[in-house]
């Protein structure tokens, strides 16, 4: 039996990640570092007050995740994982990655409803 059958290359998706899979291109989870950062940004985004605009919540979430992860050098690293790296290969104007991500965050929030128990 091949080793890949015993030990999967990537851990199975949590229910929260399955939700992200419904709304984001598969590229979001193709690299472990990106998977972790995007998952954290979305999780923090959902915890921030809905009274803020999506763009503000996303930016705040990205700043919080940058501060949380000691291996991340700067905010641009997290932004690139959420924007360009996630949507690479998708038909998105390169200057609009952040708007596309914001739109997907709105969709995720709508479907999330707070009922999933997610592990960040």
Q: Which of 109, 117, 89 is nearest to 23 (CA)?
A: 109
pTM of the model: 0.85
Q: Which of 72, 102, 5 is nearest to 92 (CA)?
A: 102
| Structure confidence by residue, pLDDT tens digits, 53-76 | 999 999 999 999 999 999 999 999
Alpha helix ranges (H) inside the chain: 3-6, 15-23, 32-47, 54-68, 75-82, 84-87, 97-112
d(CA 112, CA 69): 25
User: What band does 13 get if pLDDT is binned at 50, 70 and 90?
Assistant: confident
Q: Is 117's pLDDT higher than 90?
A: no
User: What band does 7 get if pLDDT is binned at 50, 70 and 90?
Assistant: low
Residue-averaged pLDDT of the chain: 87
pLDDT value, residue 2: 57
d(CA 19, CA 8): 20
User: What band does 89 get if pLDDT is binned at 50, 70 and 90?
Assistant: confident
User: What band does 120 get if pLDDT is binned at 50, 70 and 90?
Assistant: low
């Amino acid at each position: 039996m091949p080793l890949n059958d015993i030990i999967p290359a990537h851990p199975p998706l949590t229910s929260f990640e399955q939700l992200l899979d419904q709304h984001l291109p598969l590229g979001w989870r193709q690299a472990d570092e990106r998977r972790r950062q995007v998952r954290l940004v979305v999780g923090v985004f959902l915890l921030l007050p809905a009274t803020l605009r999506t763009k503000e919540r996303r930016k705040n979430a990205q700043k919080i995740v940058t501060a949380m992860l000691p291996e991340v050098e700067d905010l641009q690293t997290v932004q690139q994982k959420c924007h360009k790296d996630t949507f690479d290969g998708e038909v998105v104007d390169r200057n609009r990655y952040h708007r596309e991500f914001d739109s997907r965050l709105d969709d995720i929030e709508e479907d999330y409803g707070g009922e999933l128990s997610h592990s960040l």
